[in-house]
Chain A
Amino acid sequence: MCHNSVPVAAAGHLFEVEAPVQIPASFDYVRASTVDDAISLLERHGPESRVVAGGHSLLPMMKLRLARPEWLIDINELFELDFVLRDANTLRVGAMTRHATLLESPDIARLFPIIADAERVIADPTVRNRGTIGGSLCQADPAEDLSTVCKVLQAEAVVRGPGGERVLSMNDFHKGPYETAVAYNELLVEVRFPIRPHSGSAYEKVERRVGDWAVVAAGAAVSLASDGTIDDVTIGLTAVGMEGTVTEAETLLRGHRPGEELFVAAGRIAALASDPVADQRGPIDYKRHLADELTRRVLRRAAARAGEAQEG
């Protein structure tokens, strides 16, 4: 729930709305006081209820009547989900953590610079005061940046329901565009990022104007072995129709010393693996070109940052 315009798929439907109504249809509003309270409210009101966090994706959709929940469950008072905590091997981020908080966190800037890279280009500072990491992931917009970032960092999503918690990989969490594994009576409560030694990460996005959705964006994370070779690497692309990461390029890089020739080869693979559609943001060839170029750039920066990283 972070961006400052209606979702890409929603934008196409704009002209099908008969009257340009800019006020949501009627609904009942209730504010959850705890996570358990939110889950019992979801249980009670059923699939026609929706959770609102920052509201910057859901409310625009409700104004356009693309979403018409009967009940709106406001989770903005769930301060228990607003945290950035570091364990020995994990950084735990609460689902209600605002984009602005992520951007201000020194732990995140040091351990996962890819998150700070992405946050700087998500919408604008005012929208980032409201939007949350949980809302962004649950909206699951195909052009959304943090979904790619979480995949690249091999993060896990902690989802709580009436029966307790389950922990999902990002691939299991994401079911497709605008679709996640979160059931109607469940809430995403936390995202866990594994901390790896000698690692670096980076994100880069091409947008038409400040605050817009990506034309294309790429993210990469690199971990180095003690001999300087690539121990692990992940590459993710945004807004080019890819569900997973660019595994073929990752396999090519693993075990080798980071270098420009490898990055060029990885970029070429990423361009071929991408499956963009032509739209108002550009034709297919241009988007493939961006996938290639941005993959090289983020690999370069992630590898350089991994080389500088002292801390695990």
Chain B
Amino acid sequence: MQISMTINGTDITEEIEPRVLLVHFIRDQLRLTGTHWGCDTSNCGTCVVLMDGRPVKSCTVLAAMADGHSITTVEGLATGATLDPVQQGFMEEHGLQCGFCTPGMMLTARALLDHNPHPDDGEIREAISGQMCRCTGYATIVRSVQWAAAHPAGQDRMDEMEENAGEEVTA
């Protein structure tokens, strides 16, 4: 069958078998391997992508079910060479070690901040409770998301913001 969708802002049309899962379609057919394939049972959350802006576990969505929808993968977070504040936050606060859970964590964080720009730590932990990280123990991930919340314009404007409004960077 033929499916069409918007991936990271680009319209695509592809031929697939109906049984192909969204995670395999993204990784194997579109070659966007930033989305990771983990437990395959919708427990670990590393395969999370945004479907019409909401996080979904792409191992438990058929590619056919995404026909006509808008999908954002981790490759869609940065704008050109400018990282999304969430990506910058994971760098600043050491939000990863091995990096396996990172794409799902960052997309879930992006969706959270779009919905709730100033979450408290509890809200961040609740939002990422469908993801597993076996390296960092979550504390640095929560700090990374808080960094992004405190720097909604990202690194480019961070220096300027520090000069002009010191309180904005002390979340």
Contact = CB atoms under 8 A, between A and B. Distances in A.
Contact of A124 (B19, B61, B67, B130): B130
Given A29-B62, A125-B126, A4 B43 contact: yes
A55 B64 CA distance: 12
Nearest to A4: B42
B127 interface: yes
A109 interface: no
Given A60-B60, A74-B65, A129-B54, A4 B48 contact: no
Interface string A52-75: 100110011011000000001010
Interface string A135-153: 0000000000000000000
10 contacts: A4-B41, A4-B130, A6-B41, A23-B20, A24-B19, A60-B41, A74-B65, A125-B126, A126-B56, A127-B60
Given A55-B62, A211-B129, A211-B130, 8 more contacts: A59-B21, A63-B40, A72-B62, A74-B64, A76-B65, A125-B126, A126-B45, A126-B130
B65 A5 contact: no
A56 B129 contact: no
B40 A55 contact: no
Interface of A: 4-6, 22-29, 31, 52, 55-56, 59-60, 62-63, 72, 74, 76, 100, 123-127, 129-130, 210-211
Given A125-B126, A211-B130, A56 B65 contact: no
B102 interface: no
Contact of A72 (B18, B45, B48): B18
A126 B57 contact: yes
A211 B54 CA distance: 18
Interface of B: 1, 17-21, 24, 40-43, 45, 48, 54-57, 60-62, 64-65, 67, 108, 126-127, 129-131
B130 A23 contact: no
Contacts of B48: 126
A224 B125 CA distance: 38
A82 to B, nearest CB: 13
Lowest 8 CB-CB distances: which A-B pairs, in order?
Answer: A124-B130, A29-B18, A126-B130, A24-B19, A129-B54, A4-B42, A29-B64, A126-B55
Contacts of B24: 23
B116 to A, nearest CB: 12
Contacts of B126: 125
Contacts of A24: 19
Nearest to A54: B60
A124 B41 CA distance: 13
A25 B20 CA distance: 10
B3 to A, nearest CB: 10
The winner among A23, A25, A59, A60 for most chain B CB atoms within 10 A is A59
A42 B56 CA distance: 27
B56 A23 contact: no
Nearest to B17: A26
A127 B129 contact: no
Contacts of A29: 1, 18, 62, 64
Nearest to A71: B18
Given A5-B43, A22-B40, A56-B42, A27 B60 contact: no
A26 B126 CA distance: 36
Contacts of A126: 45, 48, 55-57, 108, 130-131
Contacts of B41: 4-6, 60
The winner among A4, A23, A124, A130 for most chain B CB atoms within 10 A is A124
A286 to B, nearest CB: 24
A55 B19 contact: no
Contacts of A27: 18-19
A228 B100 CA distance: 56
Contacts of B64: 29, 31, 74
A50 to B, nearest CB: 13
The winner among B24, B40, B43 for most chain A CB atoms within 10 A is B43
Contacts of B129: 124-125, 210-211
A289 to B, nearest CB: 27
